[in-house]
Structure 1
Amino acid sequence: MPELRLLDPDGYVVPEGRITITPTAEPKARADLRALAIEHAKQWAWARYDHRNYRIITAPAAG
C-alpha cells in the first residue's frame, strides 16, 4: 500500500509524518498530516517555519 509523507519546508520527513493508506483512508490521512504540519510549525516557529510551506507526498508501496 502507498504511504503519505509530510515534508517540512527543508524537505525532511516530519517525525510521525508517515501514514500507510488505503484509498478510503486517504482523505482522513491527509487531514491528519495537515494538522501535524500546523503543530510541527508551531514547535519550529523560532526558525520561521510556516505550515503552508509543508508538503504531503505519496510514496510507492515498500517492497
Structure 2
Amino acid sequence: MELRLIDPNGYTVPDTTQTVTDDTADKVREHLLTEIAPQHAAQWADFGYDPRNYRVA
C-alpha cells in the first residue's frame, strides 16, 4: 500500500509518498501528520497553510 501526505489544496507534498505494510502504516501516517505536515505548513504559513488541514491518503 502507498501513503502520501496531501496538503490543504489537495496536492501531494513532495517526497512524502511511501510504500508501507499493514504493520507500518499507522506509524508512517502518524509521522507524516505530526512531523512532516507542521514542517511543510511552516514553510507556507504566509499563505495560510495549517498542519491541521493536511491528510494522508
Query: Do Structure 1 and Structure 2 share a fold, with TM-score over 0.5?
Result: yes
- Consecutive aligned runs of 4 or more in structure 1 exceeding 3 Å deviation: none
Q: Larger Rg: 1 or 2? A: 1
- Alignment size in residue pairs: 56
SS in 1 for 2:27: helix
Q: Structure 1 or 2: larger helix share?
A: 2
1:1-63 aligned at under 5 Å gives the runs 2-34=1-33, 35-57=35-57
Once residues 16 and 37 of structure 1 are traced to their aligned partners in structure 2, the CA distance between those partners, rounded to angstroms, is 12
1:9 Cα shift? 0.5
Determine helix, strand or coil for the equivalent of 1:14.
coil
Measure the CA separation in 1 of the matches of 2:5 and 2:23. Answer: 19
Alpha-carbon shift at residue 12 of structure 1 (Å)? 0.4
Higher strand share: 1
Partner SS, residue 13 of structure 1:
coil
Structure 1: runs of 5 or more not aligned: 58-63
TM-score, normalised to structure 1, is 0.83
The percentage of counterpart residues that share the same residue type is 48
